[in-house]
Amino acid sequence: MSFLENIHTLKTLIRSFHPIIVIETVEEERVETLLKAVVEEISTPLFEWTVNHGLAPTLGTKYSPRTNEYARPGTNQVEAFEKTAEPLDALKYIRNIERTGIFWLKDVAAHLNEPEVVRELRELANVYGSINSAFVITGESVSLPKDIVHDAVYFELNLPDGDELYQTLSEVMRDLKFRHKLRINLQGEELNQFVQALSGMTLKQARQAIAYAALVDGELNGEDILKVIHRKAQILREESLLELYPVEENTAKLGGFVGLKRWLARTKVGFSTAARRVNLPAPKGILIVGIQGCGKSLAAKTIAREWQLPLLKLDAGRLYDKYVGESEKNFRQAIKLAESMSPSVLWIDEVEKSFGGGDGDGGLSLRLFGSFLTWLQEKSGEVFVVATANDLLQLPPELLRKGRFDEIFYVDLPNAQERAAIFTIHLTRHHQALPNFDFKILVTAAKGFSGAEIEQAIIAGLYQALHEQRELDTASLVAQIKNTVPLSVSRREDVEKLRAIAAERFVPAR
């Protein structure tokens, strides 16, 4: 939703007699900008309350003086009304002034466990619901008492869109150029790439990332885009359930998977302008099932690399929170973040562990699974989901229904041609001369091995060769392969059962 759409929506909520509006966000700067725009359009005063200052008119609005925007924060603060620091005193003061307006209460949710405060807010809500006034409650997480939740509506303030980020980039560039005398060498397509790199950040985080990238070497140019992406990856790891794999650093290569690659090459057109012209929806995603170590995770990375899209991995291990309601909130935030960075690829590894429905979790897995299915069916953002699974028996049957994903692929053990490609990829990655190896012997020896098992055999062989101070050769690699018991042998019954089920129901990746 754009900034103008946010103004319209919030203004409509106020005019349609919603007395309590909740905005869960840490971006108070954006809330202030939004509220100032709204009260200017409806010509009403704006007041704000904090526990350390009390209630006061908001700077730069009706009944409050204009201030010097370059002044140090806090030096132009409006004097608060007397004895309004306590939430109950502030609400009583609002009742007594008998004035319409918008009252922004910051972090007041922590005080809504006091019966007197709840009672006063309920009574004011009954009055304000008919006079186009409202309380706006903000905080990182706002949980309302049952007594007043029916009077409230939650307003979703999404992360900044491209227009807001572009404006922020322009403002920071002007400041860096004129105040700090730095060189600015960004123009044309680089500006659009910079804005895309900033997607998924708050405005404050975006400003900090831009300024840091420029101040490192005294210049802001196209090379700083990668610095911003690295900072974004760090923020995602620290503050969300997502891990970012930047396009610029995704070097994944996939041996075999010809059928999957052919399908992906055809489906990529769904992200094009031509597809949008004919109202063709963007592709939703795929489910990849199969034997462990056969390239499902690598396929997710390869898709993002081939399509030149950022890859976001959902950390299922951090999804479940010990506090009631927080897991659902964490999931919603991760989805919103992925959509704010679209077009992107969202990778959910071992999806059966995320939504398999564990015992004793109070139905949490089922609720999360329901939220995931709803989003997958209704999402409008260009987020391509790649879900991978090892255990078909743990997957909810609803996930396998036709239409949930664009396609479901089965990954089998690599055939001879695919094993040769896997050997080539990993030997090349470890700087081994390919003519020194007899691929026919290696491919035959590794029959029944997964890609991961082949890679590990090469790594073990290199360790042995380095220890013995000699070159890796075909004989030593074959020795490592013979010393390995592959999954296809150690868990033969499970593998055969999986192959039998998948062969009947899913499309082979090869």
pLDDT at 506: 87
- C-alpha 478/C-alpha 468 separation (Å) is 17
pLDDT at 221: 92
pLDDT at 77: 65
- C-alpha 451/C-alpha 423 separation (Å) is 9
The distance from CA 409 to its chain's CA centroid, rounded to whole angstroms, is 25
Looking up tokens 């304000």, which residue turns up? 128
State how beta strands 383-389 and 407-411 pair: unpaired
Closest by CA to 285, choosing from 271, 274, 298, is 271
Positions of E strands within 201-310: 219-221, 242-245, 285-290
The structural domains of the chain, ordered by start, are: 3-154 (3.40.50), 162-239 (1.10.8), 258-410 (3.40.50.300), 416-490 (1.10.8)
pLDDT at 352: 81
Element (H, E) at 389: strand 383-389
The pLDDT tens digits for 421-475 are 999 999 999 999 999 999 999 999 999 999 999 999 999 999 999 999 999 999 9
Judge whether 65 and 59 are in contact, CB under 8 Å.
Answer: yes
- C-alpha 96/C-alpha 478 separation (Å) is 87
pLDDT at 247: 83
The pLDDT tens digits for 37-62 are 999 999 999 999 999 999 999 988 76
Element (H, E) at 195: helix 189-198
Query: Helix or strand or coil: residue 192?
Result: helix
Tell me the CA distances in angstroms from 71 to 28, 50, 263, one per residue in order. Answer: 19, 21, 58
Judge whether 161 and 2 are in contact, CB under 8 Å.
Answer: yes
**pTM (2 decimals)?**
0.78
Angle at 487 between CA 386 and CA 437, to 5 degrees: 90
State whether the Cα torsion 111-112-116-119 is positive or negative.
positive
Tell me which amino acid residue 248 is.
E
Phi, psi of 385 (to 5 degrees): -90, 130
47: which strand partners? 57, 103
Tell me which amino acid residue 314 is.
L
- C-alpha 398/C-alpha 411 separation (Å) is 21
Judge whether 427 and 434 are in contact, CB under 8 Å.
Answer: yes
Tally of CB atoms within 10 A around 323: 9
Residuewise pLDDT in 10s, the chain (510 residues): 788 999 999 999 999 999 999 999 999 999 999 999 999 999 999 999 999 999 999 988 766 655 545 545 555 567 889 999 999 999 999 998 877 899 999 999 999 989 999 999 999 998 887 887 899 999 988 989 998 999 999 999 988 999 999 999 999 999 999 988 899 998 888 999 999 999 999 999 999 999 999 999 899 999 999 999 999 999 988 888 899 988 878 878 777 788 888 999 899 888 888 888 898 888 889 999 888 888 888 889 989 988 888 999 987 667 766 554 677 788 888 888 898 888 899 999 888 877 755 555 667 777 888 888 888 888 877 899 999 988 777 788 888 877 789 999 998 888 999 899 999 999 999 999 999 999 999 999 999 999 999 999 999 999 999 999 999 999 999 999 999 999 889 988 888 888 888 877 888 887
- C-alpha 297/C-alpha 241 separation (Å) is 18
Retrieve residue 505's tokens.
Answer: 């129901």
pLDDT at 325: 60
Retrieve residue 195's tokens.
Answer: 């804005």
- C-alpha 377/C-alpha 99 separation (Å) is 46
Judge whether 430 and 318 are in contact, CB under 8 Å.
Answer: no
The pLDDT tens digits for 339-358 are 888 889 999 988 887 775 55
Phi, psi of 482 (to 5 degrees): -70, -25
